Structure 1
């Protein structure tokens, strides 16, 4: 296992920017009222009007 201090700060910034981009464009939204699910580029209310929506970044889910 490598020491985290050996990671280049520019590499860390690049990695963080990629995660931020993934978060901006791929949020799995789930309405806790009507159970509807959709993918959005930002947290938003459900089409049923509920604001009780959970948003999770899609990159957190494994492919497959």
Structure 2
């Protein structure tokens, strides 16, 4: 989609992108593939079991209900 077909003005698009980046920065759902532990963190950290085989999902991707 070209900029001329965008639903947002350039400023609105920048604000939307910043809001998503902020949500990503502080709300990361983490799932350890080794021990199945789940937690929310602000950074991509290893599991307390020592595994670095972690699935990271930005929390904004989950519905609010």
- Considering the TM-score relative to the shorter chain, is it more than 0.5? yes
Q: Aligned-residue CA RMSD in angstroms?
A: 1.0
**In structure 2, what is the Cα distance between the partners aligned to 1:63 and 1:16?**
19
1:53 corresponds in structure 2 to 54
Matched residue, 1:20 = 21
TM-score (norm: length of structure 1): 0.90
Q: Quick one: distance in 1 between partners of 2:59 and 2:14?
A: 20
Q: Which runs of 5+ in 2 are unaligned?
A: none
Q: CA deviation at 1:7?
A: 2.4
Aligned mates of 1:34, 1:23 — CA distance in 2: 24
Three-state SS of the structure 2 residue aligned to 1:46 is coil
TM-aligned CA deviation for residue 63 of structure 1: 1.2
Q: How many residues align?
A: 61
